[in-house]
Each structure stands twice: as C-alpha cells, then as structure tokens.
Amino acid sequence: MNMKQEYTLMVYAENQVGLLNRIAIIFSRRKINIESLNTSPSEVEGIHRFNIVIHETEVMVKKVVRQIEKQVDVLKVYFNTNDNIIWQELALYKVPTEIIAEKVKVERLLREYGARVVAIRKDFTIFETTGHREETDKLIEVLAPYGLIEFVRSARVAIIKDSKGFHEKLKEFEQTEPVPLAPEDPISEEEANSSIV
C-alpha cells in the first residue's frame, strides 16, 4: 500500500484551453513526475480524455485524484494499477535503408517484434511497433547496431479491463441534481499515516 508503483490515471474532462496546465500543476506542486501523458478524444463526443502515468503510492494517488476531480472542468478520474488495464505504446524507428536491406533479415524482424514498415525511402526506412515499454525497448536494442537514426515513443494509451465506458456516467453528470457516487473506501489509517511527515 505504501509502496510506489505505476498507476494510470484516466481523466475525463471538458475540452478546455488551459485545463492541461491546471492538471499538470497538481502533480508538479507535489513534486510528482509525470511519466507519460496522452490527451485524446474519448468515446463520448465533446469529452476529452487524459491518460497520465505516475509512479507513486496509493495514498498519494488517491489524494491527487481527488484534487483533479475538484477542478471545475473535470468530470471524473479513474486510477488503476497495470493489472487492471490493457495498455499500449507506439514507437517509430528510423534506420538507414542501405544497411538494413543488406544486414538485417527484415522478415524475421517484423515477425519477431510485431513490427511493420510504414515507409521505405532510398535513404531511410521507418519501422513501427506497438506494445509495452519492454517490447518497444527491445527493438531499439536490435536496431541500434545498424545505425538507428531516430527513435520516438508515444505516451501510453490504456483501457480499463472492466470499464463500461463513459456514456452512462455522463448521463449522471448531465442531471442537474447530484446522483450518488459509487462508495469509495476511505483510506486506511496505515495508509493515511504513511504520507505524514
């Protein structure tokens, strides 16, 4: 409970200029580093979704989640450990075509690392792969000896395994009168104390 681990926060919010900053400073104020951040539309039209990955204790995550939910333009925040989500990151690798064509068994590479070729030019080739961090990292190792020119990895996108989506939840928010929120367990004493200096 008091151990730091990876948490993925999913923030459903209105698409407002400045909201990213409002959310980001909640982390920076507490000196929490954001490991990965992705913003995208959600399954509901007009509702934006932030995926934020942090390495923190559960107690701190809960406090931060409440601070984010407190923001006027935020509808709901979910937080999960990696066990409860399906997540992917996308990576692109730019390598010199000459060397790759000559020295690498491209077919095997594509098969083994689930990669695909997205562009082939005379001077360079671009591979793409999606997967977890370890998987995309592995391909860097393989390609490095052949003169990896450029590498980029996207932020994490994730879906909660047992989520039913936000359509139903949104209906609750659109009602003028508040509806009961799902009961949340209060933080245990042990947890609460762990963050106390």
| x-marked contacts with other proteins along 34-63 as a string, rule CB under 8 A | ----------------------------xx
Of 120 and 181, the one with the shorter C-beta distance to other proteins is 181
The phi, psi pair for 141, rounded to 5°, reads -55, -45
Q: Candidates 86, 101, 119, 192: give the one binding other proteins (CB under 8 A).
A: 192
CA distance 24 to 18: 10
Coil, strand or helix: which one is 197?
Answer: coil
Q: By CB under 8 A, is residue 179 in contact with other proteins?
A: yes
CA gyration radius, the chain: 21
**Least distance between other proteins and beta carbon 62 (Å):** 7
Distance CA 112, CA 177 (A): 54
- d(CA 29, CA 183) in angstroms, rounded, equals 28
Residue with tokens 């959310």: 23
Copy the structure tokens of residue 104. Answer: 């690498």
Report the residue from 9, 61, 75, 91 that binds other proteins according to the rule CB under 8 A: 75
Question: Least CB distance from residue 192 to other proteins, whole Å?
Answer: 4
Nearer to other proteins, 3 or 197 (CB): 197
3 binds other proteins (CB under 8 A): no
Q: How far apart (Å, rounded) are the C-alpha atoms in residues 116 and 106?
A: 10
Residue numbers at the binding site for other proteins (CB under 8 A): 13-14, 17-18, 21-22, 25, 29, 62-63, 66-67, 69-70, 72-75, 170, 173-174, 176, 178-181, 183, 186-189, 191-193, 196-197
